[in-house]
Structure 1
Amino acid sequence: MSMKMNRMLLLSALAAVSLVAADKINGAGASFPAPIYYKWAHDYQAQTGVQVNYQSIGSGGGIKQIEARTVDFGASDEPLEAKRLGESKLLQFPAVVGAICLAYNLPELEGKEVKLSNAVVEAIFLGTITKWNDPKIAADNAGVALPDKAITIAYRSDGSGTTWNFTYWLDKMGKTWHEKVGLGKTVQWPVGIGGKGNEGVTNMIKQTPGSIGYIETAYAAKNNLPMATLQSAEGTWVKATTENIMAAAANAKWKGEEGFYQILASQPGKNTYPIVAATFILLPQEKAAENKEVSKFFTFAFEKGAAEAEKLGYIPLPKPTVEAIEAYLKTNNAK
């Protein structure tokens, strides 16, 4: 076979590899945004033919995989600070905003509202309140026939941005929690049983009468799990409604030069839901071609996926934030 023919075959093979790479994007990380990422991926493939394969493995796994460069993008509900981004040579931007709820399984109540004060939530997760009819819970739930049933805690067993945001809130509002447990993607839970991913914790709650656990609101809504009414930073009772989640998101001050680092939990406002979080995308600085393909997907999501995000209980990013992200990606040769 001639050298010319060999060269032609090699170029053809390389072109085929490039075509395959361009037709598939691999991402991994947070389970918090997985429902909307799956929907966006389905719609994007239908329109462009490009497959977005997203693995819901938890924020800790997503950070590890993008730092190891084994995926095209990582996803984390814990934003990385500028120093960590610089050390790992990563870009970061938010994709969508959501909320973490306390979902529970009490069929006896037949859907009646349960209010849980900050002090009660802290005590439940510390293991010092162990029954649903505890006087401290009953005090805020007049007229609700709380059952004499043991409380079972369901928590995340994997490295989780949902855990990081939930424990950030607990750590900020609970002195005892701060002193004994603290915050992190993983913590030493005083009581309870662990499940992997939002999916695992959701299943544990569904299967365990008397249980309570922290999950993204989209998982609770999809599985018809009731969500506790919580207290705002001002002490008023608030539900995880779109309006109350948006109230927290409205306080965000996104800055591209800081990798859009922002924590939305415990934001002020009497109508502000207390456990709100943005979820973030991580890209390797040096992979310009791959980053541009990932950027196309999220541009599609920002422009055409807002309605689908709202249907699932997420809050799309406001237009000025999207414009700031687009400028940030262009500046960093990722668009």
Structure 2
Amino acid sequence: MASPLKCRVRRLWSRTWAGRTLGTAAIAMLAAQAAFAEPMTLDETGSTLMYPVFTTWIAQYAKAHPDVHINLGATGSEDGIQQVIAGKVHIGASDAYMSDADIRKHPQIVNIPLAIAAQTVNYNVPGLNAIHLKLDGPTLAGIYSGTVHAWDAPQIAALNPGVSLPHQTIVPIRRVEGSGDTFVFTQFLTFSTPSWESDHGYGTTISWPNVPSGITATGNQGMVKALQSTNYSIAYVGVSYSDSIEQAKLGTASLKNGAGEFVLPTKEAIMAGAASLGVRTPADERLTLVFAPASGAWPLVNYEYAVVSTEQSDPAVAAAIRRFLLWAILPSEDNEAWLNAAHFIPLPPHTWELSQAQIQLIKSR
């Protein structure tokens, strides 16, 4: 007979991921106890998209583990990765996975998904923020390359028949720092638009086209503030800032996905994108979930990574990192609620098993 704990967790994942169940390794992890004999400090920095979730995790973790203090930063995904490589922090939060070239240079670094998130495309067009303008990858690529420069351009008008679009210059906003949100957004442009792929490609930083009307912002909160203060602007924003977008009464676009459908960034649409590609996740878990071909899928979906060195200088530090990360991916009703508050989704069982295995690789030299 299954234990009450196993049944409870199976019910949780059944509700979220259509009946998939835990393996024995998961049950063993759930039974593990985390205790520390001496005070411990860990340092984290990186993704601003993950910042709200890490803030909650750290506050909740401290209640059960008062001897563990975690310093939290929000300096952008690229900086999080680089600081881990340099040995300056223990955990780099990132919306982007490391490239093959970087992994070859730093084989001791692992990319561990902790949750699933997404980006939204938002705008500030007076009189139109209450509706969901339809946009697609080629049109967004045109906006960010400067070839689509007015809100009533033929490309936008064709996608939104019957909508009275203003003859106003579009102000594209992009991140100034190395950003995982930029990584995901430019992947969408790359996968959906051959000209963008050949001219610009994707990355946490890229060589952006010079668009005279364009402006830059730092962090997701900076993107929201720039949108709010700039009429006729458009930006890509991490889904954990959706409540800020709503409070600011900004618009959210309906995007054309890989199946040719226009969809909104609902929980169901994000799950559909993750489910259709997540089963392909390899052992090192570096996989894009962008522009999934499945019906109903939101096209800007990504894993949220903890980037960590498997070679720690202190066995106590290695153990502390393992315990915190295992706790963070723990399938529980509490953790699901914390992720839901940031519009994140828990890992499906297949990815959870891979993340658990990668966490166990974190040791001391």
In 1, Cα distance between equivalents of 2:303 and 2:291: 13
Residue-by-residue CA offset, 1:4-59 (whole Å, 9 max, x unaligned): xxxxxxxxxxxxxx934x1x321011112111111111211233223322211111
Matching residue within 228, 231, 255 for 1:230: 255
Q: State the match for 2:291 in structure 1.
A: 266
1:277 aligns with 2:297: no
Match of 2:95 among 77, 95, 109: 77
Aligned equivalent of 2:164? 145
Q: 2:3 maps to what in 1?
A: none
How far 1:61 sits from its partner (Å)?
0.6
Report what 1:292 is aligned to.
319
Distance 1:227 1:110 in 2: 7
1:317 Cα deviation from its structure 2 partner = 0.5
Aligned in 2, Cα 1:81/1:134: closer, same or farther, shift over 3 Å?
closer
Letter in 2 for 1:45: A
Q: Distance in 2 between matches of 1:82 and 1:122?
A: 26
2:25 aligned residue? none
Aligned to 2:354: 324
Q: TM-score, normalised by structure 2?
A: 0.80
Letter in structure 2 aligned against 1:307: A
Asked if 1:64 corresponds to 2:82, the answer is: yes
Matches within 5 A, 1:57-136: 57-81=75-99, 84-85=102-103, 87-88=105-106, 89-136=108-155
Aligned residues: 313
Alpha-carbon distance between aligned partners in 2 of 1:123 and 1:84, rounded to the nearest angstrom: 30
Quote the residue 2:10 is aligned against.
Answer: none
Query: Which residue does 1:3 correspond to in 2?
Result: none
Q: What is the one-letter code of the residue matched to 2:345?
A: I
C-alpha distance in structure 2 between counterparts of 1:104 and 1:53, whole Å: 34
Contact map agreement 2:111 2:305 (CA 8 A) in 1 = yes
**Can you give the 5+ residue segments of structure 1 that lack an aligned partner in the other structure?**
1-17
Tell me, what secondary structure is at the counterpart of 1:172? Answer: helix
Aligned to 1:15: none
Q: Secondary structure at the match of 1:19?
A: coil
Secondary structure of the 1:249 match is: helix
**Separation in structure 1 between the aligned mates of residue 55 and residue 266 of structure 2, nearest angstrom:** 23
Query: Residue 38 of structure 2 aligns to a residue in which SS?
Result: helix
Superposed displacement of residue 113, structure 1: 1.5
The answer to whether residue 92 in structure 2 is matched with residue 37 in structure 1 is: no
- Asked if 1:54 is matched to 2:81, the reply is no
- 2-structure distance, mates of 1:265, 1:92: 17
- Find the aligned partners of 2:357 and 2:203 in 1 and give their Cα distance: 31
User: Structure 2 CA distance, aligned partners of 1:305 and 1:147?
Assistant: 44
CA-based RMSD: 2.0
Partner of 2:271: 246
Counterpart residue identity of residue 123, structure 2: Y
Contact 2:114/2:305 (8 A) holds in 1? yes
Contact 1:283 1:291 in 2 (8 A): no
Cα shift at 1:147: 2.1
Specify every segment of 5 or more residues in structure 2 that has no aligned partner in the other structure, as ranges.
1-36
| Counterpart-to-counterpart distance in 2, 1:110 and 1:211 | 11
Q: Is the 8 A contact 1:72 1:291 kept in 2?
A: no
Match of 1:186 among 183, 202, 205: 205
Q: What letter is aligned with 1:294?
A: I
TM-score by length of 1: 0.87
How big is the shift at 1:82?
A: 6.0
Aligned to 2:241: 219
Any conservation in 1 of the 2:113–2:285 contact (CA below 8 Å)?
yes
**Conserved 8 A contact 1:112-1:144:** no
CA pair 160-272 structure 1, distance change in 2 beyond 3 A: same
Partner of 1:9: none
Distance change >3 Å, CA 150–CA 75, structure 1 → 2? same
- Percent of counterpart pairs with the same letter? 29
Distance of 1:102 and 1:212 partners within structure 2: 7
Q: Greater shift after overlay, 325-334 or 108-117? A: 325-334
Contact 1:103/1:220 (8 A) holds in 2: no
The question of whether the paired residues in 1 share the 8 Å contact of 2:285 and 2:354 is answered with: no
> How far off its partner does 1:188 sit?
2.3
Deviation per CA, 1:136-157, whole angstroms, max 9, x where unpaired? 2122222322222221010011
Is 2:42 the partner of 1:25? yes
Do 1:220 and 1:227's aligned partners in 2 also have CA atoms closer than 8 Å? no
User: Distance in 2 between the 1:319 and 1:270 partners?
Assistant: 22
Rg larger in structure = 1
Deviation at 1:309, TM superposition (A): 0.6
Structure 2 residue aligned with 1:167: 186
| Residue identity opposite 1:211 in structure 2 | S
> Shift of residue 115 of structure 1?
0.5
User: 1:109 is paired with a residue of what secondary structure?
Assistant: coil
